[in-house]
Structures are given as structure tokens and as C-alpha cells.
Structure 1
């Protein structure tokens, strides 16, 4: 596949899990991929795997909750590649899985800093770069917990609900610029962050739900990256069956 030849993509949370899988797939389709993560070792490992497979990759440390980090990431990509066309805002955390009354305010705030403000910084600062390229695609990793409530996950659910609203607002604001903005809801994925309990490939407390590996999310991510213009925008694409 060379459907993304000549394109440049930025993927946050690319050190492992879904982000790493998406970064490798984008590169395999011909894109130059800027891999970003708070872990230098992990993101450099992802970039090296891309290069070993014959792709082009940039590795950068970036805390998406810090606007100056995001700006520095984009400036580095623009200096080396002239700009970028695709943004996969994938970085996220789940730090406090307790009811609101028993929650840790610091962990609650940190969850919002990364999950919601991280998407805000990534999207806001990407706009001028994508406008300069004549358009682009933003894909944000959302969650089913951002659409329906789940006991004990207040911080994560509320932050992802904010992300879903931000996606729709951005889509309306950027439609005229040829920039699409969509949400990708992976559903349960076996990653270091989620630690989803499993039994024979399904989720223990919901056996009809499809428990995925990170690579199982790639086909939907690639659909959103390669769909002919103008393409869908302001929509949520889900691999999840469960309604909380």
C-alpha cells in the first residue's frame, strides 16, 4: 500500500499499544510518521521498528498536556518535513478508578490534563499547519465511556465525554478549511493501560464484547486516514458493542 505516499502524520501516544500499531500502519502505507510519547525509550523503539520495516519515522518526546511540548513537536516536524497532513491524537491515561466521593483530586485533574486538554492542545496547534497544507485529517481516540457512564471511572469517562464534544465542535469549525475531525472508539483493547480481563478472547464481565489487540484497531484507523475527500467529519466510529 502506498495510499499515503507523500503524506506526513503525527501520532501521539505512539510508544506502545494502539498508537504504536497505527504509526506502523501509516508508515507501511507510505506516510512519514512523527511518533510522539512521554517515554523517550518507547517512542524511539516504535520509530526504529518503522525504519526497520522500510518506513520513515521521527521520534519526539512530547507531553500532550503541555502546550509548549506540542508546539515544539509540530515545529520540529514542520522544519524537517514542511508540515503534516494527519493527526492521530491518541495519548491518554486512566489514573483514578474510584467513585467521585473517594477520588483523588490530583489524579482527576491529571486525567483531564492529558485526555481532554491534550487533545485540545494537539488540535488547536495543528490547525495552522493543516490550513497551510490545504486541509487535513484529525482522528481522536475516544472511548465508549465518553458516551455512557460507568461506575468507578468518573475521571476517565468525563474527560472522554469532553473529547467527544470537542471533536464535534472542531468538525463544525474546520469544515470550510477541508479539515475533518472524527472520533475513533476502540472498545476494549488489551494494552498496558487498560489491563482488560479476558477469557478466550472476550471480556470477562461481558462475553459478547470483542476484546481486541492493538493491531485490530488499525483497519478503522486507516479507513479514516485514507477515505477520499471530503469524507466524514464530526462522527464517532466505534469498534465497541457494549452500551454502559
Structure 2
């Protein structure tokens, strides 16, 4: 990466949920290296403190703010904290999510099913809703929602997860339509299977003919979306899956 590319996000402020590990941490580190000030968020503070410390140790700028995406007031406080620390918000990566296997619909626990929807769909709504006023004040912005290829086809035992991601794709398109007047682009990033603590892909889970990635493999697309011009792509899905 040349010096110009390395500072593609200079002067920008990025808020990343689920930034304590895996894909979220990889994106946070990359955005900071590209010149952005980064607000690392997750439900608990320990891992996001580590992410922020890694960024600051490398000469970047980052803070950690614990926030639960299920709680809208908590998410509002996250963005208020970001603005207080860095005077605004330009990029939002809604990465917080759960991949819980809820079992067949017939035998699922309704409370667990609702929990997946609450985090993966309502939590994304909360994140976008709380971010919009701050992005509007900047005159432009980027919202990147972390999708899944499992929204495209039924999978036994994963009805809650698939439904949450299918709903999130429609939310992506609706947000893009509603925010085009404000130069705020909204896009979905589908990583495909990635080796993380949550998924255990490459361990007990196997994907024949699929590219099982490391979190860092998702970074180039996340960087592309964050660094596009104000009139760049919106309402689009960018997938790293080999199979449709």
C-alpha cells in the first residue's frame, strides 16, 4: 500500500460496532492505519479496550465505548461519545451480531429466536437511526452493514439468523433510498465464511468449494466502501462468497 492509499481516510471518524475481535477489529485497525479516528464499540469493554490500545500503540487515534445495540439509548450515547471525542462521525460499520443456531422452527426457543432478531436486525436499525443525525451534520457519510449469504437461501436450524439478515438487506436498500438526499451511502458487505471465535469456521464447520477467510481478507472491501466519493455506490451488496 503506497502512502497516498495508506491515508485514504485521513480526517474521517469511523464508528465500528463489534470491534473487539474478528472482522470488526481487523476493520478498525485498517481504518486507523488509513488515517481515520476510530471509535471501537461492543457490549463489554475488555476486548474493545484492547483494539483501541493496539491502534494507539501504532500511532493511530482510537477510543473504546461500550454499548449494547439492543438498547437504543445506549447506542445514542455511543454516537454522542464519538462526537465529543472527535467532533463528528463520517463512517459507520454495523458489525455487531450473533450467529446463534436456534434449531428447527418447530423446536426453537422463542426467546432465543427473538434475541437473534433483536441483535442482528433491530440492533442494526438502532445503529443506523442513532448515526443519521450526526452524518447529516457532516453533509455526507457512509453506512456499511455486515450481511450474510445465508439471507439468500433457507437453512434448517438457522431461521432466525437468515431472517435477520434478509430483513437487514431490505433495511439497507430502504436506508439508501431515504438518505440519498444527504449524500449518505448505505451498502451491505457479505464476508462469507470467516474464521472467527463466533463462527469456528475452519474448525468444526466446513464449506466445500467455499473460500474460508481470515478477518483481514474482508478489509479491502470495507476499505473500498469507506473511501468511495459522496456520490459513490449505494443500496448495493458486495459479496466475498464464491457461491451464490
CA distance in 2, matches of 1:63, 1:73: 9
Structure 1 residues 93-242: aligned runs within 5 Å: 93-197=98-202, 204-206=206-208, 208-242=209-243
User: Could you say what secondary structure the match of 2:88 adopts?
Assistant: coil
Residue by residue over 1:1-32, the C-alpha shift from the partner in whole angstroms, topping out at 9 and shown as x without a partner, is 11111100000000000000000000000000
TM-score, with structure 2 as normaliser: 0.95
CA distance in 2, matches of 1:104, 1:197: 28
CA distance in 2, matches of 1:79, 1:177: 22
CA distance in 2, matches of 1:214, 1:56: 21
CA distance in 2, matches of 1:127, 1:91: 18
Structure 1 residues 7-156: aligned runs within 5 Å: 7-156=12-161
User: Could you say what secondary structure the match of 2:210 adopts?
Assistant: strand
Deviation at 1:97, TM superposition (A): 3.5
CA distance in 2, matches of 1:229, 1:71: 24
CA distance in 2, matches of 1:158, 1:15: 25
The answer to whether the 8 Å contact 2:141/2:230 transfers is no
Deviation at 1:204, TM superposition (A): 2.9
CA distance in 1, matches of 2:206, 2:12: 40
TM-score, with structure 1 as normaliser: 0.95
CA distance in 1, matches of 2:243, 2:196: 19
User: Could you say what secondary structure the match of 2:242 adopts?
Assistant: coil
Deviation at 1:95, TM superposition (A): 2.2
User: Could you say what secondary structure the match of 2:99 adopts?
Assistant: coil
CA distance in 2, matches of 1:79, 1:48: 19
CA distance in 2, matches of 1:139, 1:155: 21
Cα-Cα RMSD: 1.2
Aligned residues: 239
CA distance in 2, matches of 1:148, 1:8: 35
